[in-house]
A and B are shown apart, each in its own frame.
Chain A
Amino acid sequence: MNNTIGIYIHLPYCPTKCGYCDFNAYLAPGGDAFARYTSAVLAEMRLAESLEGRQRVGSIYFGGGTPSLFPAGDVGRMLDLLRDLHEIAEDAEVSLEANPSALTSDQLRQFVGAGVNRLSIGAQTFSAPLLAAIGRDHGPDDIVRAVGMAREAGLVRVSLDLMYGLPDETDADVEKSVMRAIGLGVGHISAYALELEPRTVFGHRHRRGDLALPGEDDVVRRGDMIGGCLAHAGFTRYEVSNHARPGERCRHNERTWQRGRYRGFGAGAHSFLGERRFWNVAHPARYASDVEGGVLPVAGQEDVSKIARGEWAYLALRTFHLDRQAFEDAFGLPIEAAFPKTFRHALEDGWLRRTGPAWVVAEERRWLLGQLAARFLDEGRTP
């Protein structure tokens, strides 16, 4: 994977806006919005190729928004163009995020036909009242149906997204959700603790005192319960919020944690090409008009070459593993020598233990990762 790049394509439209979501997502407009947006992404891909050159692609990820809302033909055109412009690895992972509502067998077969080989379904929870409370437009049965259709369409790799820490949620709700998800036989489950973002419906309600969120103790207990159930079912927690059966990890996301390169296309998409991180204009219409004008729709960028070491550790910590050899290969010195202060503290304070080729975060500290990550980031600056 070292010489390959990941490609992320942002498809920003949604059927409804969920109360917790502050992603770059918009209610789907009518008319030719999908076609126009797709054209813009195609134009951006051509523009990028002319400036950055042909790449070897190891993974492709359609994120959103609700990518499954897009006509399969549009997804197909984007994949076709990528195959024209770049060399796509034989075993490339091509993921697409889907909403369980309004998903049809035909559509799924078309996605598969276009080259999609992994589906990530936004299940969130198997409790109908909780789904309604967070503003989802599907019910628990839709999830079951979606997984079945995906399998029929030939999708072997299916992931379910779950959320916990939701308003008025009980331990039983969480346990039921994770057990039903496991019962559907998928190989990958993401379980995200709700994060309250200020510019969301939930954020406003919270400020008004109108949102009963579980306390930190509840969230931690439920997260541990999810991890326990999944471990028992043969899943490994390979990242803070991601659990997979053997061979089922999301390679595109792993690339992010390994500080691998990726190119993001579409409104608000982020890219990292090794030295700098940059991101596109967020609003789809403004994004499209930039691209139509023949310029890269870049909204901002950041040179991360001086914080590379800290960033490497901050990202790797999300997987609870610091691969000593990988660090030395990337930076030419042992990780312990790059972060002497942090290691002294981490070892004295019981954060890390050595397991073969890696430093591993102590099980009981995994909820407090931010504390250690901040130290690595701070010490990882180079002049």
Chain B
Amino acid sequence: MTDPSLIRNFSIVAHIDHGKSTLADRLIEMTGLVEARRMTEQVLDTMDIERERGITIKAQTARLPFRAADGRTYVLNLIDTPGHVDFSYEVSRSLAASEGALLVVDATQGVEAQTLANLDAALDVGLTVIPVINKIDLPSADVPGVIAELENLGFLASECLAVSAKDGTGVRAVLEALVERVPPPRGLDAAPPRALVFDSHFDAYRGVVVHVRIVDGALRRGDEVRFMASGTSHEVTHMGVFAPAPVPVDGLGPGEVGWFAATIKNLGDARVGDTVTLAEGGATTPLPGYRPALAMVFAGLYPAEPAAYDALRDALEKLRLNDASLTYEPETSEALGFGFRAGFLGLLHLDVVQERLEREFDIELVTTAPHVVYFATLTDGSEVRIDNPARYPAAGRIAEIREPIVKARIFVPKEHVGAVMELCQDRRGTFVNLEYPSAERALLTYELPLAEIMYDFFDQLKGRTRGYASLDYDLLGHFPADMERVEILLAGESVDALSFVCHRSEAERRGREICKKLREVIPRQMFEVPIQAAIGSRILARETLSALKKDVLAKCYGGDITRKRKLLEKQKEGKKRMRRVGRVEVPQEAFMAILKTEKAP
């Protein structure tokens, strides 16, 4: 076990694309763990999707041996954090496992919304924050400007480090600063052990591998450990550190960061934020800050081919092994058959899961439009939770309905403040605050319905600020709102998978747009199909899909029957991707139509 005075535990936080992963790679390379020539890609972001999108979804960890200028060799534990607002709870646990944080700011972009959110989160858990200005090699770098912004956030100019993670300039100074400025861990040697779970992953041979930061005491191989929140006990079979590949050790002492396996089959037994102690004679008080993963967004996931249901279930099971925040339960839709209602941390999380199902598991999906969770008090006094518009209670039974509201922080160049405020007002936002952290930029704080952010808010925000705005949000809670469930009827039959919940003031406009959109995407049938939007028995909008009158080719010329036969075959292939709803064949894209109707007002 390592002498705690030689340990420095730190995270790296940054706004998206400010160079967090590149800096992590350079730190690893400079401490000699991975040879430079092998570092063709960013080492820490391992999933393909992460690389393609340039974001970190799963936090990764590395133990870096560093011989500092004082001649001593330190252990620097880098606890990487997920880089997206959807994963803010995971970020907070990684931070809680550290004593220090590198706050990376792009020298060409300056402070952004996530920079602030990350700084707040790091300060919340009492970390020493070292500001690192990155990308100083770029011609458009404005180091003095960024220093000025950081000064406004309470840093001293002399604290700010200027680096180029790309070419390595200044990176050594970052390592020295970690040693000098970040305090060593201060745990209680003799106390019953307490370890914070900040991540976990599933290994086919060892079961769940738990990533922990030891706060007090020590854990050893062979210990019978207990997870205080989930209440389960397991014997530690393997233990190690990240170098960054797993290297076995016999025990982990106070302040150390490592992993253990304990034949845990269910990732849910080792949740991020939980405290690990000994099963007997363990601690009685868990570490602070645990909360179960909170799904913010729900969507129906259905196999495009009904026969792929089992494959989809297996794939979801496998994904959940590595992603405890993914929740799902079987669901049956009249329109789509058997599938799952899945809960996600946010839209990006939904996107990532959807993409992994299609890419890694080769399953074609029909995804229904994502939806937030509503709570309702019924007239009989009972409370219900609604994560699926199809299960929305009848209007007469609802005494009160509450929708999720988030606190959104939007960082925006001064000249675009008006446009962004207009957008927020338009999306039922409540103004909270306007500050100017620097001469050029404003920080707008709004309370916004989460449902409004789900549609085209990001696109609108970017469009109205020429891409310069950045957004970060936290859930505030559920608050009363005037919501309605709009049903969509095809040929007189309500289609459960197309119904949606929206604010009363929006119902008619959105109903009309969706009917119009559906008329475009549903191919003509052999009969006329009325497409209607309705609240209860009140019809809000109607479009008519006229009947297909003619589908026969006049001539096959000169004995060439091949060309026209292929046309028919193609037509049939297209039909296979459709779902039959009553008598109507509906293509997959129709189920996402709801998302695509929102246009700039």
| Interface residue B565 (Cβ < 8 Å from any Cβ of A) | yes
Residues of B within 8 A of A (CB): 526, 548-562, 565, 568-569, 571-572, 575
CB within 8 A of A302: which of B553, B554, B562, B575?
A: B562
| Interface residue A48 (Cβ < 8 Å from any Cβ of B) | no
Residues of A within 8 A of B (CB): 8, 10, 23-24, 63, 192-195, 216-217, 219-220, 240-241, 256, 262, 264, 268-272, 277, 279, 302, 311, 314-315, 318, 366-371, 373-375, 377-378
Taking CB as reference atom, which chain B residue is nearest A10?
B558
In the assembled complex, how far is the CB of residue A124 from the closest CB belonging to chain B, in whole angstroms? 13
Given contacts A374-B572, A375-B572, A377-B565, contact A256 B559 (CB under 8 A): yes
CB within 8 A of A367: which of B551, B560, B575?
A: B551
Whether A256 and B561, one on each chain, are in contact in the complex, defined by CB atoms closer than 8 angstroms, is: yes
In the assembled complex, how far is the CB of residue A60 from the closest CB belonging to chain B, in whole angstroms? 13
Taking CB as reference atom, which chain A residue is nearest B549?
A216
In the assembled complex, how far is the CB of residue A8 from the closest CB belonging to chain B, in whole angstroms? 5
Taking CB as reference atom, which chain A residue is nearest B558?
A63
In the assembled complex, how far is the CB of residue A23 from the closest CB belonging to chain B, in whole angstroms? 6
User: Which residues of A have CB within 8 Å of B569?
Assistant: 374, 377-378
Whether A377 and B559, one on each chain, are in contact in the complex, defined by CB atoms closer than 8 angstroms, is: no
Interchain residue pairs A-B with the least CB separation, the first 5: A370-B551, A374-B572, A270-B559, A369-B552, A216-B549
19 contacts between A and B (CB under 8 A): A195-B555, A216-B550, A240-B552, A240-B553, A241-B554, A241-B555, A256-B556, A256-B561, A264-B559, A269-B558, A271-B559, A279-B562, A367-B551, A368-B550, A373-B568, A374-B575, A375-B572, A377-B572, A378-B572
CA A369 to CA B526, docked complex, whole Å:
11
Whether A377 and B568, one on each chain, are in contact in the complex, defined by CB atoms closer than 8 angstroms, is: yes
Interface of B is mostly: loop
Beyond contacts A256-B561, A367-B551: 19 other A-B pairs, Cβ-Cβ < 8 A, are: A24-B558, A195-B555, A240-B552, A240-B554, A256-B556, A264-B559, A272-B559, A277-B561, A279-B562, A314-B561, A366-B552, A367-B552, A368-B550, A369-B552, A374-B568, A374-B569, A374-B571, A377-B569, A378-B569
Whether A368 and B558, one on each chain, are in contact in the complex, defined by CB atoms closer than 8 angstroms, is: no
CA A24 to CA B563, docked complex, whole Å:
13
Most A-side CB within 10 Å, residue of B549, B554, B562, B575: B554
Taking CB as reference atom, which chain B residue is nearest A266?
B558
Whether B555 and A8, one on each chain, are in contact in the complex, defined by CB atoms closer than 8 angstroms, is: no
Whether A368 and B555, one on each chain, are in contact in the complex, defined by CB atoms closer than 8 angstroms, is: no
In the assembled complex, how far is the CB of residue A125 from the closest CB belonging to chain B, in whole angstroms? 15
In the assembled complex, how far is the CB of residue A226 from the closest CB belonging to chain B, in whole angstroms? 12
User: Which residues of B have CB within 8 Å of A268?
Assistant: 558
Most B-side CB within 10 Å, residue of A264, A302, A367: A367
Whether A370 and B554, one on each chain, are in contact in the complex, defined by CB atoms closer than 8 angstroms, is: no
User: Which residues of A have CB within 8 Å of B561?
Assistant: 256, 270, 272, 277, 311, 314-315
CA A272 to CA B575, docked complex, whole Å:
29
In the assembled complex, how far is the CB of residue B196 from the closest CB belonging to chain A, in whole angstroms? 57
CA A277 to CA B561, docked complex, whole Å:
9
User: Which residues of A have CB within 8 Å of B556?
Assistant: 256, 318
Taking CB as reference atom, which chain A residue is nearest B524?
A216
Taking CB as reference atom, which chain B residue is nearest A240?
B552
In the assembled complex, how far is the CB of residue B252 from the closest CB belonging to chain A, in whole angstroms? 58
CA A366 to CA B526, docked complex, whole Å:
12
Whether B550 and A314, one on each chain, are in contact in the complex, defined by CB atoms closer than 8 angstroms, is: no
User: Which residues of A have CB within 8 Å of B555?
Assistant: 192, 195, 241
Whether A368 and B554, one on each chain, are in contact in the complex, defined by CB atoms closer than 8 angstroms, is: no
Taking CB as reference atom, which chain B residue is nearest A241?
B554
Most A-side CB within 10 Å, residue of B552, B555, B556, B562: B552
CB within 8 A of B549: which of A217, A256, A270, A378?
A: A217
Given contacts A371-B526, A373-B568, A374-B575, contact A220 B558 (CB under 8 A): no
Whether A269 and B550, one on each chain, are in contact in the complex, defined by CB atoms closer than 8 angstroms, is: no
User: Which residues of B have CB within 8 Å of A311?
Assistant: 561, 565
Whether B550 and A23, one on each chain, are in contact in the complex, defined by CB atoms closer than 8 angstroms, is: no
Taking CB as reference atom, which chain B residue is nearest A279?
B560
User: Which residues of A have CB within 8 Å of B560?
Assistant: 270, 279
User: Which residues of B have CB within 8 Å of A220?
Assistant: 549-550
Taking CB as reference atom, which chain B residue is nearest A12?
B558
